[in-house]
A and B are shown apart, each in its own frame.
Chain A
């Protein structure tokens, strides 16, 4: 009854993406059960990247659907381009009598129509209207929809692997949540962060990395900050430091290129005031809390 490995696609992370154990399990669970995978987490923890690497890891092509506040659920399925049809009927281009020429499939529609199994990314679903997820319930459950204009029914040949990301801007409806496999990407701890940095900057000097991480986690601990720096900002910051040829000594008591880490004016000001008052930046792990010294 257990079919541990009967041809299931298995995701293990990829060379360019370090995935934690729970995340790998959640991905595989969603793939095997053909349920949408809902990913939440702090901005910059790699939610969107995950979908790309799931596609890479499983060897499937990817389609993405970036949600905006004006997105409608129907747009993901198909759009009927009436204006083009009107235009063609006036100027005699195309085959006006066949309405099918004017049905343009959206990302979800294309993933249904495709011959091979796709990874479909529905990015930042919380940006859309409150009812948006509910409008997709049936389509995601049954992986089929009807094109009203032609009466044609689109049924997914291969059920796509659906990855949905959310930034928690809005509460998602319960009925929608019930159908998803959920994973919350925790903020990486220092050990995982070393691995992540190593992926992007493979030959980084160890002492420099230590100083960088100490400053980074220290900044994140500061409760006054309005916006905590995230992983992607750390990576950018290290790039900036490397380009400028900063040495570990220089960063010990300073935080150069603070603009790469802090994006709010008030935060940068607060840090400047801290420095002006003679505050010292930590330079050893023991200066941070017990969480970092186990």
Chain B
């Protein structure tokens, strides 16, 4: 019943890990629930759920599992003792597996463990899977199977199946598009400079100056270090970009959350940049911003990142009035705008969500690659793109 709660929550996409589970069991061992189901409910929620957005999911799972259970909860100490022992969970030896399966008597659990076992064998970077910190049951982080992102939002599908499916996507950095990893990749997007008011005491310099002054104290101040990166993001939306909606929006979210950036602006376009870009993804005329204004407003110190698949009809790129939108009659061909952008900004990159193999097959992508260095929209590609934006010139 208790395992049902744990896996029920994970099925609903609530990020519950073994650590939270252990916390709950410890609370139960101390008798904090006071043999009342309501108190147990409060206790379980406080220990297992870490965001109010999951309260609803918790309620649903709890109601489903504890339907019919009223009044006192009877948890035998044996069961508690077994559950409390973390060795039963992450060790994953065959005996343990058998023991687990037998003790839980829970088919879901069994299937889950089978999946887990299979994946441990197959997974190349196994350390990510079961945790780097050896197999100590008390290690933090990765030791327990937190690695499995159970994305069980769809009603009919088995959450375990989803867990299996999503594993590779979440953990291999060459294809992964996990929001957290993306943020980590973007964190390198910084150039620390000391500009602004002198508000920080420079200790080393103060001591040096004081010594030079024969012990007469000389305080030296300096401006604090801050990130000087200003980023302009232009995103292709609609058409062939639709399948990439999720990774692109994740990238946008990650950039919005990346508060280290000195300034950040984002605009949208369709297929190619012409004389207007748009402040919102619906690309209506009300949201249009002249690209020329953008170039006047943002100086060459801004970094430019364009996200798009660079796949379009050649005329859209090469011909005057080539834009696919009939209202958009730019006398300048798209490729000329791309050249203007590339020459205006000192550093610019093109981030392409298509697989690398496709780049050469697409005529327009080959042309765009002559204008911008192109990187793949993955954690690795993003890291390279960031390097190209702020790293030393090669």
Contact = CB atoms under 8 A, between A and B. Distances in A.
Interface stretch (A179-187, A224-232, A251-259): A179-187
Interface in A1-27: 1-4, 8, 21-22, 25-26
A130 interface: yes
B111 interface: no
A40 B206 CA distance: 43
A7 to B, nearest CB: 12
Interface residues of A, number: 38
Nearest to A129: B259
A175 B180 CA distance: 12
Contacts of B257: 130, 170-171
B362 interface: no
B46 A82 contact: no
Contacts of A183: 46
Contact of B43 (A29, A130, A178): A29
Interface stretch (A30-38, A98-106, A116-124): A30-38
Contact of A1 (B17, B55, B77, B206): B77
Interface in A72-91: 82-83, 86-87, 89-90
A86 B210 CA distance: 9
Given A25-B39, A82-B203, A130-B259, A38 B50 contact: yes
A108 B178 CA distance: 34
A29 B140 contact: no
B207 A86 contact: yes
A167 interface: no
B216 A90 contact: yes
Contacts of B80: 1
Interface centre among A25, A38, A130 (most CB of B within 10 A): A25
B23 A35 contact: yes
A19 B114 CA distance: 45
B151 to A, nearest CB: 16
B215 A22 contact: no
B81 to A, nearest CB: 8
A183 B207 CA distance: 48
A28 interface: yes
Interface centre among B46, B207, B216, B259 (most CB of A within 10 A): B46
B23 A25 contact: no
Given A33-B23, A33-B27, A178-B20, A83 B45 contact: no
A143 B64 CA distance: 39
A33 B15 contact: no
B38 interface: yes
A235 interface: no
Interface in B155-194: 180
A103 to B, nearest CB: 15
Interface centre among B30, B77, B203, B217 (most CB of A within 10 A): B30
B124 interface: no
Contacts of B140: 141, 175
A40 B46 CA distance: 12
Contacts of B26: 33
A177 interface: yes
Contacts of B217: 86-87, 90
Interface string A133-168: 000000001000000000000000000000000000
B45 A22 contact: yes
A72 to B, nearest CB: 12
B363 to A, nearest CB: 42
B221 to A, nearest CB: 11
B27 A32 contact: yes
A32 B30 contact: yes
A25 B32 contact: yes
B118 interface: no
A189 interface: no
B171 to A, nearest CB: 15
Q: What 9 A-B pairs are tightest by C-beta distance, nearest first?
A: A2-B31, A184-B52, A25-B42, A26-B46, A177-B50, A22-B42, A4-B31, A182-B50, A178-B19
Given A40-B52, A86-B207, 14 more contacts: A2-B30, A21-B38, A21-B39, A25-B42, A26-B43, A32-B30, A33-B23, A35-B23, A86-B206, A90-B210, A141-B140, A174-B15, A182-B49, A184-B55
